[in-house]
């Protein structure tokens, strides 16, 4: 965008109702004059402003006909804005200002509204009309829909949601993961939005997809040792699954950096879907299950060793039995089998001796 194009808010033009009444009265007067002069031209005596000349009647007749034919043109200057809407106006290609507050305005009828993204509809965004059946195409992972040329040129200033479809991205370890992100955004500078980029909605969509890819590749899916996700040169425990808030914030910041020149503010970003890609999901599930089993067994063994230790200490304290090293080994073995086994132990009564 040219640096000298800055957003200008048009103020003091909320006179739409008064101008509409004046235009309607002028139109009604032109119709009445047309009827009166038409009767006068038929030969009846009609006095208009003290004149009875047929030539003057003809002049007034032609003038009223012209006004009736083109009198609708001033109505083009009437503009109605609801809360949360804006209208960028140009006059013969030159930007003259933006109507931003709600109200009934009257502007130069030759002014035209400019919004190159008016026909672009973002998937799951607030600017899609309900129950509207239109053909859609996919653009860089985001559902983009295009309507006809009769779309309103108004720019929504409300917070809208861009919901990207799932995209496959390799994480830090090269594992393919599927991720979807919802981006909450709004237009803050209408001049930048329509003049800085060709289509600010498409631009936002592409930058969102790029930011997701750039950030996801910095993190492993699960916590991994010796991985630096923050760029400070030190290993940390960051991961896509365990640090979703941090990952979403980095995605938001990167998108904001890219779209700031387009007059767009990123309000928030949230990860809505995260999973391993189908081709490795089963293998990763087995890996997680194996890790869980190992952790569980480790906990059981640690607990069993502690119980055996406690049993031997209590026996020595009470001096209930004098165990040599071989009997201690046998007792430890039996206790570990009982405590670490998956099934209930079957008691065996030994009536003899170990020797």
Nearest one of 180, 208, 162 to 273, comparing CA atoms: 180
CATH architecture under which domain 120-276 falls: 2-Layer Sandwich (3.30)
Per-residue confidence of the chain (355 residues) as pLDDT tens digits? 445 578 899 888 888 889 999 989 988 888 888 888 777 655 544 444 444 566 777 778 888 888 888 888 888 999 999 999 999 999 998 999 999 988 999 999 999 999 998 888 776 455 544 444 433 333 334 444 433 444 688 999 999 998 878 888 988 888 889 999 999 999 999 999 999 998 999 999 999 999 999 999 999 888 777 777 777 777 777 888 888 899 999 999 999 999 999 999 999 999 999 988 888 766 667 666 767 777 777 887 778 788 777 777 777 777 666 666 777 777 777 777 776 766 666 666 565 555 5
Q: For the chain, which residues make up each domain, given as ranges?
A: 16-113, 120-276, 288-340
Beta bridge partners of 270: 182
d(CA 296, CA 317): 32
d(CA 163, CA 128): 13
Nearest one of 104, 100, 107, 116 to 153, comparing CA atoms: 116
For residue 217, the number of C-alpha atoms closer than 13 Å in the C-beta half-sphere is 11
Instruction: Spell out where the chain has E strands.
Output: 78-81, 85-91, 94-99, 103-106, 112-113, 120-122, 136-139, 142-146, 155-156, 160-163, 167-170, 176-187, 264-276
Query: The pTM is what?
Result: 0.69
d(CA 215, CA 225): 19
């Amino acid at each position: 965008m040219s640096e000298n194009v800055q957003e200008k808010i048009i103020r003091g033009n909320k006179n739409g109702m008064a101008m509409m009444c004046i235009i309607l009265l002028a139109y009604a007067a032109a119709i009445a004059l047309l009827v009166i002069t038409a009767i006068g031209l038929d030969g009846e005596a009609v006095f208009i402003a003290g004149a009875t000349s047929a030539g003057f009647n003809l002049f007034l007749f032609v003038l009223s006909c012209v006004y009736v034919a083109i009198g609708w043109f001033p109505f083009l200057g009437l503009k109605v804005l609801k809360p949360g809407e804006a209208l960028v106006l140009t006059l013969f290609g030159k930007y003259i200002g933006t109507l931003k507050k709600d109200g009934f305005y009257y502007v130069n009828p030759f002014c035209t509204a400019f919004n190159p993204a008016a026909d672009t509809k973002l998937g799951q965004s607030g600017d899609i009309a309900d129950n509207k059946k239109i053909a859609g195409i996919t653009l860089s992972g985001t559902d983009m829909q295009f309507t006809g040329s009769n779309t309103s040129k108004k720019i929504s200033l409300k917070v809208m949601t861009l919901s990207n479809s799932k995209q496959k991205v390799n994480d830090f370890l090269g594992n393919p993961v599927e991720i979807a992100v919802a981006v909450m955004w709004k237009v803050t500078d209408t001049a930048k939005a329509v003049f800085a980029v060709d289509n600010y909605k498409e631009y936002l969509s592409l930058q969102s997809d790029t930011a997701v890819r750039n950030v996801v590749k910095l993190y492993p899916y699960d916590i991994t040792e010796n991985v630096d996700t923050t760029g400070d040169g030190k290993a940390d425990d960051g991961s896509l699954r365990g640090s979703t808030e941090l990952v979403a914030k980095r995605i938001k910041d990167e998108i904001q950096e890219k779209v700031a020149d387009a007059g767009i503010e990123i309000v928030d970003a949230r990860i809505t879907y995260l999973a391993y890609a189908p081709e490795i999901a089963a293998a990763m599930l087995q890996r997680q299950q194996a890790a869980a089993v190992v952790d569980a067994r480790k906990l059981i063994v640690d607990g069993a060793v502690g119980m055996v230790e406690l049993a031997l200490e209590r026996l020595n304290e009470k001096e209930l039995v004098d165990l040599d090293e071989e009997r201690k080994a046998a007792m430890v073995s039996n206790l570990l089998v009982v405590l670490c086994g998956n099934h209930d132990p079957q008691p065996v009564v030994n009536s003899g001796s170990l020797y």
